[in-house]
Structure 1
Amino acid sequence: MMVRRDTLARACMLDHPPTAYLVPVKRPDGVAEYEVTWDDLARDAAWTQERLQALGLERGHCALVSFSGHEGAWFQPVIEALRNLGATYGTAEAMGWDHARTRVFHRELDLHAVLGLSTDTLEALSGQVMIGDLFRDTPVILVRPGAAERLRAAGVRAGIIAPLGPALAIECAERSGAHVNRSEWHVSERDGVLAVAAVREKRATGLDEIVLDTAGRVLTERCACGSDDPRVVLG
Structure 2
Amino acid sequence: MTRADTLSRARRLDRPELAYLVRFPTADGIRETQLTWAELARDTDWATARLREHGLAAGQRALLTASGFEGFWGHAVIGALRALKVTYGIAEAMGWDHRRTSVFHRELRPHAVIGLSAETLEGLAGTADIKEMFRATPVILARPAAVPMLRAVGVAAGLFSALGPALALECPERSGAHVNAAEWRVGERDGQLFLAAGEQRTSLLPETPLGIAGRVVAGRCACGSEDPRVLFAEARADQPL
Q: TM-score range by the shorter chain?
A: over 0.9
Structure 1: state its 5+ residue gaps. Answer: none
Number of equivalenced pairs = 233
Please give the per-residue CA displacement for 1:56-111, whole angstroms capped at 9, x wherever unaligned: 11111100011111111111111101101111011111111111111111111121
Cα drift, residue 222 of structure 1: 1.1
For residues 124-171 of structure 1, what are the alpha-carbon distances to aligned partners after superposition, in whole Å with 9 as ceiling and x for unaligned? 000001101100110000010111110001110000111001110000
Partner in structure 1 of residue 207 of structure 2: 209
Report how far residue 15 of structure 1 moved. Answer: 1.2
User: Which stretch shifts more, 31-40 or 213-222?
Assistant: 31-40
Give 2:139's aligned residue. Answer: 140
Tell me the amino acid that sits aligned with residue 225 of structure 1: C
Q: Distance in 1 between matches of 2:172 and 2:26?
A: 32
Matched, 1:58 2:57: yes
The one of the two structures with greater contact order (alpha-carbon pairs below 8 A, sep at least 6) is 2
Judged with a 3 Å threshold, the aligned counterparts in structure 2 of structure 1 residues 28 and 134 are, in CA distance, closer, same or farther, namely: closer
Alpha-carbon distance between aligned partners in 2 of 1:28 and 1:220, rounded to the nearest angstrom:
23
Q: Name the residue aligned to 1:79.
A: 78
- Map 1:78-227 onto structure 2 (within 5 A): 78-200=77-199, 202-227=200-225
Deviates more, 1:119-128 or 1:6-15: 6-15
- Structure 1 runs (4+) deviating above 4 angstroms are 27-30
In structure 1, how many angstroms separate the alpha carbons of the residues matched to 2:125 and 2:106?
16
Q: Corresponding residue for 1:70? A: 69
TM-score, scaled relative to structure 2 = 0.93
Q: Is the 8 A contact 2:98 2:120 kept in 1?
A: yes
Query: Which stretches in structure 2 are left out of the alignment for 5+ residues?
Result: 234-241
Question: Partners of 1:25 and 1:95 in 2: how far apart?
Answer: 18
